[in-house]
Amino acid sequence: MGRLGAPEIVFIVLAIVILFGAKKLPEIGQSLGKAIREFKKAGKELENDINDVTKE
């Protein structure tokens, strides 16, 4: 699978705008940001738990 270039990114953005509408984009971005933060937080907690268990 190749890398995404400028034409592909433009196509994806246009498809998202058409599907969801411009008014929904900030809500979608905010939800996506929260999901990514929670995923990173869960990963760090899991890593800390594994480190605690291996130290014992």
Q: Tens digit of pLDDT for each residue in 6-27?
A: 999 899 989 988 998 888 888 9
**In contact, 55 and 47? CB cutoff 8 Å:** no
- pLDDT at position 2, please? 73
Predicted confidence band at 44 (pLDDT cuts at 50, 70, 90)? very high
pTM above 0.85, yes or no: no
**In contact, 17 and 25? CB cutoff 8 Å:** yes
CA distance 29 to 40: 17
Q: What amino acid is encoded at 39 in this protein?
A: F
Strand locations in 1-56 (E): none
Q: Flag whether pLDDT at 56 surpasses 80.
A: no
Following CA atoms 13, 14, 20, 23 in sequence, which dihedral angle do they give, to the nearest 10 degrees?
Answer: 80
